[in-house]
Structure 1
């Protein structure tokens, strides 16, 4: 007989499970259950604690956020000062540091005898966490090093900070020090959300992390993608290891995140090698760093060396070249892209940023110009990270000259002279249609504008699109300037004589190019959609459209109200897709491509998972009828069962709907009393029916894809086919193909020349296949190559 656990036993079991899942997800990067299972456990715990308030403990996973916003932060005096580090900017600075370390010890030490703990210098905000008897009791900012601010409520919301230490053996009092930061992806997602809601965007991840951590309302902090990485300790009462690396490894064992780049090296040459290696990989890291921190590993040596002024003699930060600098904005010019978008580009007084001379920077669009408040003549802050295009991040307003000039959009295209128009966004909400201005200005010259034509052709023939080998930018420019190509369709009627007459072409190269054009006539549907250059439709969206809707005909006919049912397609993207495929010029180009033998492959029915995808209740909810919320939509759908019955329902029938009040009844009648609304709604419903997505459509059997939920990585050179083709095959089997290896990677395919990704896979124990292994896998699942 199985005994039912008491509420207290179940609550404790749930806390243990959730804490373990949090540790695996946020610290080890090895999630062990799907999100849905985690949510089920968390919701059960919340319910049990709500039913049994006496069981709620401060370290429960449900207690990360709570309480009213603070009116101000309290102050915290640091028992052990949080000192800053000395800086090294050149190799000689590091050599001098190492010499001072060795000379500062009581006994002579050879260069190779000094071990250094090496870590990336995260670009975030230094914080202190105080644990007493294993329980997190306080969080504080560094402040001026001796006094900081009490941010306990906020640090409790950071998911990879344990509210209670794991394991055992930790000191009774333990102050952990580290950096709160934001990953690059988290930063971009936060800024995107801020733009969508009209909030303030942040200049860089460090500012975003600092701003998020200093919110008086911890609920705001909880919704920011913050992470914590510890690098040392302050005050403690108890026993700890006697080396810097040993302490960090102990902290990791107690559930705290330490850097995955942590390394122990011997001598200053080991430090310099680590610095060079990390510098080369800096752009590929998922977070921003501005240098490397080196600390003498032996704590006895640290005590001998001591401190000078406000910095330790046993540690130093070796900085990378600055990624932000000040310079003058000399002018703003406008470039025309392949979709006609007019993009402002800053022309700058040349300045060295991160080791590169920068004279141009992107301003994105005119909304960004307005947000920055930038004017010609301003002193601006320029940021460059890795290979990312330099950006204007901020205006130094106090340096603005009296003759600064506003930035104005040209009325005519700078390339073809056609009119420039601002995009308009149509949104239907609460039964009304509103038109708002978009962020993009476009030249209306389309392919009559040589800038758009050239860029459109270059995109069309690119490797990830139609993959026409031999058609580089220089050749495309010749074809456009001579007049042989006025649309992508013209590529498929080029003659031998025309190509042979181009600069740099002989008989063999001519035959090769014409052969490559001919071979490109059978792209996958996803590649074809991507090649067309639909605004805001990248590779992943093109793959989604091709898989979900299954045919070029459905994609070209899809209404915006239908497209938004597909995952990750919002109203703006749906509008761009619909506008593109209903444009007369675009439809003509597509028709000509098909007439000249281009046949997108893999067309058929909609994907099984989208059959009967839309419920009547969801359909009604998306109409956003005033006073009819989702629950009201569900009651209508349950009561009437069909859309025509709801549209034609009279007052008496509506009164019979359970808990559907008079205001909602009146709004529904008013909405469907408008003939335009009725026609639009019925048109959308009919398309859902035509596509097989309607709630009355037959459901299809969904076959589980063999690699669904798996993450694969490709590295090295493949001989049978390109890595892009391999990626397509793996994605067809349900895999996600990523660009970097982590503990969550299921398998790495390694060809000749595989380097750091293969090494990391072996280090993490990730499965590795060679090319023959991949071919065998594909053949096993019915993919012939």
Structure 2
């Protein structure tokens, strides 16, 4: 028992450290410039919650886990007491946690997108806006009425049959599409760049001069209500309908749901479509819909028991920008990229992120040595959004764009006057460009050469086996013996080498459009390549076609046509085509091979697992028959093919009334078009 006192002191120290971190970062979030991302704050907050669950004696009323928001710290605005306390929301972070909450919380429910913005409280008396305030600590906020009046979405007077008193809660935000323009203006005026839309909205709402508030392009959407007189809705959804009738902005994404499985489907849908909304989101809010049930469930000291926020994995984190380097792509484009202190975001560790071009580096105002905000949205390449400028200590330095290609030393220049992108003009021999082109040739969208990856491509170049891609299909065992990636220690080719030669032989018979893609002609991707191959049938006819003839091809146009024609004016480009043809690469689509365009003009979405098709094969089947293979369901979708374990796309199709097909019906439609379905799927 002698260790009890030291152990208790150690527990006190751990609690104090965690509690102080939470208070510090929460205060910066509500009253200043955050130093860490929301996800990093959530992690610290959950650590404190877990600590208090393990040691209940520390779950005291003054703990940050019992508090809402943060008390106002500025003297610029008067303090105001909310008519009814503004609460926070408890969070869940996995489908399992959400399912557990749904099992103990009866429906029906209403779901809302969790807007990544700043809470606002509006009071309307006899239809007139009499006060606006920030959330503050939930009881006391800052009076920002004058600023709220210049936000276009906030009406000064309500319309229709409004109550004598209503306290409306909402979220103020900046649309992502408006954010770059705000930063450009900020930097042009000599100010520090904004880190992200949420912080910019928070700072904008607290400007002393309402004219400065106008410049922030603030928007607002309502998501609840507090005190009210003469307003007694039966459900949350009905309340939103009333708010809309009175002229207040409500979300177009709010939905009602009866069962937990519907909620999980909506969670999955928005997890895949986080960037489809007009504002940034960091989660989905689920509320019990009937107001009477909300009252029965009541609240904890900080959050309602009848609502919860499902938080999606973080897409934004902060980390150190150690350096800015430049990479060279397959078309010669020189792209600055951030060399980062490794950080975990959206399911993977990120150590590099794109900065697009030299003008973007300057526009975003990032300096080498900055703490920066990094976003990784789904499968998109990680991107640096901007610096946390308040954390600068003076050791940061500006990035200087190189004059020469960092790989081959050729002087960089824009392809034509006015281009934002600079390129390495050594297109044929620059190892970076050639390596990237070889990888692109080997990709599934082109020749699908499985044994030729990044490592193999670089090795073939470094060992002198390939000077350019012209002799790729001429490779022999003897050639590969000069490489390291494709040989054994005894100098004979290994299994990868044998596989590469087999892959190359098989690839010689691919369709013409895939050959066109593999040539890496600027702007000629799979869609344009398909259209050109379908019309002209052979490489010879394509080379002989005029710019106007190429441009008249559906889905091509003038820019692609000019780029295509210009590519063939280069001697070594034509040599590639000649050498490939001599090696046996097919340069025309065989007669009678044309696929009937049974899906022409139709948009088709596939969801779930299909027995007879891989994901790529489904897309290929749709596109080769003239259809559009879309990734999401909308009112413009004509059919949705539903396989095993279909998710939210099937639910969305049902909601919109889009015809759904089984795999067998899909095969029928591929063969004979919609008329072959005999009314199936309607």
**Fold-level match, TM-score > 0.5?**
yes
Maintained 8 Å contact 1:560/1:578: no
Change (3 A) 1:422 1:345: same
Query: Could you tell me the TM-score, scaled by structure 2's length?
Result: 0.63
Over 3 Å counting, the alpha-carbon distance change for 1:776 and 1:139 in structure 2 is: farther
Report the equivalent of 2:506.
Answer: 516
Name the CA distance, whole Å, in 1 between partners of 2:296 and 2:618.
57
Distance 1:289 1:397, change over 3 A: closer
Cα offset, 1:459, TM superposition: 0.6
Partner of 1:677: none
CA contact (8 A) 2:110 2:289 kept: yes
Check 1:129–1:592 CA distance in 2 against 1; reply closer, same or farther (3 A cut): farther
Contact 1:711 1:747 in 2 (8 A): yes
Q: Distance in 2 between matches of 1:211 and 1:540?
A: 44
Secondary structure in 1 matching 2:332 = coil
Counterpart check, 1:779 vs 2:632: no
Alpha-carbon distance in structure 1 between the residues aligned to 2:85 and 2:413 = 52
| TM superposition shift of 1:713 | 0.2
The CA deviation at 1:373 is 2.9
Displacement of 1:337: 1.6
Distance in 2 (alpha carbons) for counterparts of 1:115 and 1:569: 52
After TM superposition, the structure 1 = structure 2 runs for residues 314-463 of structure 1, keeping only pairs within 5 Å, are 315=307, 317=309, 319-320=311-312, 322-353=314-345, 356-415=348-407, 417-425=408-416, 435-436=417-418, 438-463=419-444
Contact 1:421 1:444 in 2 (8 A): yes
Aligned match of 2:267 in 278, 281, 297? 278
Q: 1:533 offset after TM fit, Å? A: 1.9
- How many Å apart are 1:575 and its aligned residue? 7.2
Contact 2:88 2:303 in 1 (8 A): yes
Unmatched 5+ stretches in structure 1: 1-74, 99-109, 158-162, 426-434, 605-704
Q: Secondary structure at the match of 1:326?
A: strand
Q: Deviations over 1:116-159 (max 9, x none)?
A: 755431224657899999xx9879976555544345883399xx
Other structure's SS at 1:377 match:
coil
Listed as ranges, the matches of 1:186-205 within 5 Å are 187=176
Shift in CA distance, 564/311, structure 1 to aligned 2, threshold 3 Å = farther
Give the Cα separation in 1 of the matches to 2:219 and 2:518: 38
Match of 1:123 in 2: 116
SS at match of 1:519: coil
Counterpart CA distance in 1 for 2:220 and 2:651 is 26
Q: Distance in 2 between matches of 1:563 and 1:192?
A: 34
CA contact (8 A) 1:139 1:151 kept: no
- Check conservation: 2:599, 2:673, Cα contact below 8 A: no
Q: What is the rounded CA distance, in whole Å, between the counterparts of 1:474 and 1:508 in structure 2? A: 16
Q: 1:594 to 1:78 in 2, by over 3 A?
A: farther
Q: Residue 634 of structure 2: which of 742, 746, 771 is its match?
A: 742
Shift of 1:487: 3.2
Q: Report deviation, 1:298.
A: 5.0
Q: Distance in 2 between matches of 1:480 and 1:260?
A: 55
Distance 1:191-1:773 versus aligned 2 partners, 3 A rule: farther
Q: 1:366 to 1:564 in 2, by over 3 A?
A: farther
- Hey, what does 1:259 align to over in structure 2? 253
| Aligned residue in 1 for 2:152 | 154
Query: Does 2:530 match 1:530?
Result: no
SS in 2 for 1:370: helix
SS at match of 1:344: strand
Match of 2:37 in 1: none
Shift in Å, 1:423: 0.9
CA contact (8 A) 1:178 1:232 kept: yes
SS in structure 2 of the partner of residue 376 of structure 1: coil
Residue pair 1:454, 1:480 contacting (<8 A) in 2 also: yes
* 1:378-435 deviations in Å (ceiling 9; x for gaps): 23232333343332222234443444333223334333x331312143xxxxxxxxx3
- C-alpha displacement of 1:239: 5.3
Q: Which residue of 2 aligns with 1:505?
A: 495
8 Å CA contact retained: 2:507, 2:585: no
Give the TM-score normalised by structure 1.
0.56
- Give, in angstroms, the shift of residue 754 of structure 1: 4.0
Task: Provide the alpha-carbon RMSD of the alignment.
Answer: 5.7
Change (3 A) 1:294 1:112: closer
Q: Gaps (5+ residues) in structure 2?
A: 1-77, 136-140, 488-492, 592-596, 677-682
Distance 1:378 1:507 in 2: 45
Is the 8 Å Cα contact of residues 194 and 387 (structure 2) preserved in structure 1? no
Which residue is 1:701 aligned to?
none
DSSP 3-state at the match of 1:360: strand
Structure-2 change in CA distance of 1:203 and 1:164 (3 Å) = farther
- With over 3 angstroms needed to count, the CA separation of the structure-2 counterparts of 1:486 and 1:390, relative to structure 1, is same
Contact 1:729 1:783 in 2 (8 A): no
How far residue 458 of structure 1 moved from its aligned partner, in angstroms, is 1.0
1-structure distance, mates of 2:555, 2:124: 43
Q: Is contact 2:283-2:309 (8 Å) kept?
A: yes
Say if 1:730 and 1:354 are closer, same or farther in 2 by CA, change over 3 A.
closer
- The Cα shift of 1:449 comes to 2.3
Q: For the Cα contact (< 8 Å) 2:532–2:550, is it kept in 1? A: no
How much has 1:456 moved relative to structure 2?
Answer: 0.3
| Aligned residues of 2:414 and 2:420 also touching (Cα < 8 A) | yes
Equivalent residue for 1:671? Answer: none
CA distance in 2, matches of 1:505, 1:548: 40
Displacement of 1:710 in angstroms is 3.8
Secondary structure of 2:641's counterpart equals: strand
What corresponds to 1:714 in structure 2? Answer: 606
More contact order relative to length (CA 8 Å, sep ≥ 6):
2
Are the aligned partners of 2:512 and 2:588 in contact in 1 as well (CA < 8 Å)?
yes
Q: Does 1:465 align with 2:465?
A: no
Task: State how far apart, in whole Å, the 1-side matches of 2:132 and 2:546 are.
Answer: 52
Equivalent-residue separation in structure 2 for 1:592 and 1:193 (angstroms) = 52
Distance in 1, matches of 2:320 and 2:651, equals: 44
Distance in 2 of aligned mates of 1:156 and 1:451: 53
Q: Identify which range, 237-246 or 584-593, moves more after superposition.
A: 237-246
State the 1:712 CA deviation. 1.3
Deviations 1:174-220 (A, max 9, x none): 7765557688xxx469859999xx99998656579899999979999
The 5-angstrom pairing of residues 477-496 of structure 1 reads 477-495=458-476
In the alignment, the residues of structure 2 paired with residue 479 and residue 319 of structure 1 have an alpha-carbon distance, to the nearest angstrom, of: 46
The separation in 2 between residues aligned to 1:261 and 1:404, in whole angstroms, is 47
SS of the residue corresponding to residue 327 of structure 1 reads strand
Q: 1:395 to 1:511 in 2, by over 3 A?
A: closer
CA distance in 1, matches of 2:507, 2:169: 60
Give 2:619's aligned residue. 727
Q: Distance in 2 between matches of 1:314 and 1:382?
A: 34
Conservation of the 8 A alpha-carbon contact between 2:183 and 2:363: no
Distance 1:406 1:258 in 2: 43
